[in-house]
């Protein structure tokens, strides 16, 4: 069992003919993901990946021809907001945006439209989704994870990879990994994903990877305390981050005394979450 993506996912790749889009599409296809179409304006009618995937000029045309129900975006920053709006307008229920550097004002407009259209957005500035053994949407390396019963949700791409591999090395597998991204405005929150894992009968435990900045971890702690029955283990990156300095993600910044790692750890522990001091401790805390 999994959340969001599985073997039935019919994937559309926006920006498939670009360098990044083509590279990662090949890896997704090799993993077993059903890529049914690509979209690059002006290149409709072409075929890529050794003639396995047709390219369309618009998302609407691709959806009509292939029945795509998920889109992943490898679109340059200046076009990414419009590409996400096109995804929502075409009625695709799930979009995963890998692109980083999208302005906050643009994301506010995109988020409003996607909410109106009923399209769930993962990202932007995220590594994507992985359901081991079934479907890979994005840039998470498939070989570092094995199928299992631990759900993983993370704001950090690099830590996601490290912890997936640590779980595999300890003999523990993953149901689905969701990289929600670290931008100030994104499409899916910790609370959203925690709710999905809580309802998934085949996810028994959950790992939450947070970082400094914002209040998402505090909201997650409240949700865990009030609504979750499954054990949650967490790690919060940025314990030593200096105030006012951005650390990697656009949302990873401590300002005005808020967003501190110490505050996030405190509220998570108060909610009954075991918080690791180092990522390597997570497999042990799960056991």
> If you ran DSSP here, which 8-state letter would residue 156 be given?
-
- The whole-angstrom separation of Cα 276 and Cα 67 is 43
Could you give the percent of the chain with pLDDT greater than 90? Answer: 89
| pTM of the full structure | 0.93
Confidence (pLDDT) at 213: 87
What tokens were used for 133?
Answer: 């053994």
Q: Which of 27, 143, 202, 249 is catalytic?
A: 249
Read off the pLDDT band of 209 (50, 70, 90).
very high
Helix (H, G, I), strand (E, B) or coil at 106: helix
What tokens were used for 235?
Answer: 């790690």
Could you give the percent of the chain with pLDDT greater than 70? Answer: 93
Q: Go through the domains of the chain in sequence order and give each one's CATH number.
A: 10-122 (3.40.50.720), 140-286 (3.40.50.261)
The per-residue pLDDT for range 139-153, each reduced to its tens digit, is: 999 999 999 999 999
**Rg of the chain (C-alpha set):** 18
- Average pLDDT of the chain is 94
**202 flagged as catalytic:** no
The per-residue pLDDT for range 50-81, each reduced to its tens digit, is: 999 999 999 999 999 999 999 999 999 999 99
What is the signed CA dihedral for 247, 176, 197, 94, rounded to 10 degrees? Answer: 80
pLDDT at 203 exceeding the cut of 50: yes
The sign of the dihedral angle between the CA atoms of 19, 23, 28, 32 is positive
- The whole-angstrom separation of Cα 77 and Cα 153 is 24
Read off the pLDDT band of 252 (50, 70, 90).
very low
> If you ran DSSP here, which 8-state letter would residue 246 be given?
-
Read off the pLDDT band of 2 (50, 70, 90).
confident
pLDDT at 95 exceeding the cut of 70: yes
Average pLDDT over residues 236-247: 66
Read off the pLDDT band of 100 (50, 70, 90).
very high
Confidence (pLDDT) at 242: 62
């Amino acid at each position: 069992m999994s959340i969001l993506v599985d073997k039935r996912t019919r994937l559309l790749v926006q920006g498939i003919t670009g360098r990044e889009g083509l590279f990662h599409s090949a890896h997704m296809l090799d993993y077993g993901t059903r890529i049914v179409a690509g979209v690059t304006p002006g290149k409709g009618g072409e075929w890529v990946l050794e003639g396995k995937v047709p390219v369309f000029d618009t998302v609407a045309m691709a959806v009509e021809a292939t029945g795509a129900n998920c889109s992943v975006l490898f679109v340059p920053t200046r076009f990414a907001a419009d590409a996400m709006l096109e995804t929502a307008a075409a009625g695709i229920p799930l979009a995963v945006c890998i692109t980083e550097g999208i302005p906050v004002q643009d994301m506010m407009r995109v988020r409003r439209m996607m909410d109106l259209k009923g399209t769930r957005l993962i990202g932007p500035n995220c590594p994507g989704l992985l359901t081991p053994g079934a479907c890979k949407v994005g840039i998470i390396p498939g070989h570092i994870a094995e199928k299992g019963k631990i759900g993983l949700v993370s704001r950090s791409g690099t830590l996601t990879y490290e912890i997936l591999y640590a779980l595999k090395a300890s003999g523990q597998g993953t149901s689905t990994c969701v990289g929600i991204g670290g931008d100030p405005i994104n499409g899916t929150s910790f609370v959203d994903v925690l709710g999905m894992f809580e309802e998934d009968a085949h996810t028994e435990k959950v790992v939450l990877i947070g970082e400094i900045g914002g209040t998402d971890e505090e909201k997650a702690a409240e949700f865990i305390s009030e609504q979750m029955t499954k054990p949650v283990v967490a790690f919060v990156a940025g314990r030593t981050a200096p105030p006012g300095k951005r650390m990697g993600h656009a949302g990873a910044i401590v300002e005005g005394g808020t967003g501190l790692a110490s505050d996030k750890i405190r509220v998570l522990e108060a909610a009954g979450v075991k918080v690791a001091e180092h990522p390597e401790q997570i497999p042990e805390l799960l056991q």
